Amino acid sequence: MAVAADIRPTTLVESIPVADPAPLGLAGFALTTFLLSGHNATFIPDLIWVGPALFYGGVAQLLAGMWEFRNRNVFGATAFATYGAFWLSFGIFVVFATLSKSFATALTSNPNNVPNAAAWFLLAFAIFNLYMMLWSTRVSMAVFVVFATLQATEILLVIGNFDEAHGHANNGWVHWGGWVGIVTAAAAWYASAAGVINGMSPRIVLPVGAPLWTARPGSPMPRRAEG
C-alpha cells in the first residue's frame, strides 16, 4: 500500500537587505513640518501643507515605518509609523473641517473648540515624543536633535493653543513654535541627507554624530545585528 507523502510548502526567508527607508521617512517629516511651521511663523499661506501631510508626511512616512519593521528596526518603525499617522490624522481633520458642513458646524459650535482640540492632540503626541526623544540618545546626535527640537515645538504649540482656547489669541506662542518647527525641519532634512549620501558612499560624508549611549555608525537609524 502506497503511503502518501506529506508535502508542505517551503517558505523562503529573504536574506537580501532592503534599501534604508529612514531618509525617506525623515524627508517626508521634514518637508511637511517646514510647510506647517512656516504657516505658524506667518510667512507661508495656510492649507498648502494639507496635501503633503496626507501623501508625503503621511503615506510615504507610514510606508517608511512599515519597511523599518522589515529591517527589524523597532525605533525607526515606531517613529515613522506614528508620525505618518500623525500627519494623516491632522490632515484629514482639516479636510473634514473645511469640506464637511456638519463636521465644521459641530467643531465650531464653540469658538474655543479648535485651539483646544489642537492643544490636546499635540499634547498627546508630545508625551509620545518625550520617550522617543530619550531613546533617540541611542541612535545618533542628528536624530536626537530632531526629537529634541520637535519636543520644544510641540510644547510651544500646546501652550499657544491652550492659551488661545482661553481667549488669548495671537499670544505669540504658536508663532515661536513655528520658528522652532523650522529648526526641527532643518535637522530632519540634514539627517535625511546624511542617510542618502552616507548610504551611497564607502565612507561617512555627512556626520550624524555618535549616540550618547552606544555607537551605531552609518545609518541615522539603528539596525538590530543579524545573527
The reported pLDDT for the residue numbered 225 is: 46
Banded model confidence at residue 13, pLDDT cuts 50, 70, 90? low
Is 208 among the domain residues? no
Are 206 and 177 within 8 A, CB to CB? Answer: no
CB atoms within 10 A of CB 129: 23
Query: What are the DSSP calls for 151-212, one per residue?
Result: HHHHHHHHHHHHHHHTT-TT-SHHHHHHHHHHHHHHHHHHHHHHHHHHHHSSS-SS-----S
The reported pLDDT for the residue numbered 17 is: 73
- Whether the pLDDT of residue 144 is over 90: the answer is yes
The parent domain of residue 135 ranges over 22-200
Classify residue 112 by burial, with Cβ atoms within 10 Å: 0-12, 13-18, 19+: middle
Name the helix (H) or strand (E) containing 64.
Answer: helix 61-70
Give the pLDDT confidence of 175-220 residue by residue, as tens digits.
Answer: 999 999 999 999 999 999 999 999 999 999 999 999 988 755 555 6
Are 114 and 108 within 8 A, CB to CB? Answer: yes
What pTM was computed for the model? 0.87
CA neighbours closer than 13 Å in the CB half-sphere of residue 6 = 0
Is 148 among the domain residues? yes
Q: In terms of Cα–Cα distance, which of 147, 107, 105, 98 is closest to 127?
A: 147
Is 96 among the domain residues? yes
Is 13 among the domain residues? no
Banded model confidence at residue 169, pLDDT cuts 50, 70, 90? confident
Number of domains present in the structure of the chain? 1
Is 94 among the domain residues? yes
Distances from the Cα of 190 to the Cα of 167, 194, 204, 205, 208, angstroms: 38, 6, 14, 12, 9
Q: Strand, coil or helix: what is 214? A: coil
The reported pLDDT for the residue numbered 12 is: 52
Is 158 among the domain residues? yes
Q: Show contacts of 88-91: CB within 8 Å, 24+ apart.
A: 88/53, 88/54, 88/58, 88/59, 88/62, 89/121, 90/53, 90/121, 91/50, 91/51, 91/53, 91/54, 91/58
